[in-house]
Amino acid sequence: DMSRGREDSCMRTQNMVLAAQSLGLGTCISGSIAMAFQGEKGAKLLGKLGVPEGYSPVVGITLGEAAEAPEAKPREKKYIIV
């Protein structure tokens, strides 16, 4: 069932990014990568990459050695009252 394919891809992407960061690698998620595969040029690129018919990229991950390691920003204190 591919009805949840986009959501599944996003969850897998998050897991891959967390795994990469745990290995000391830097990452950057790109949700706009799907635009590169639109139209005639996009179809040719999908063919060159060997993407099967009926499939399309949803998200991209840039992976490599991070140039810097900034400290995490402090969390905002938000409360939910139920």
Per-residue pLDDT tens over the stretch 47-72: 999 999 888 888 999 999 988 878 88
Sign of CA dihedral 42, 35, 32, 52: negative
On whether the pTM is more than 0.75, the answer is: no
Q: What percent of the chain has pLDDT over 90?
A: 45
Which residues, in sequence order, are CB contacts of 5 under 8 Å at separation 6+? 58
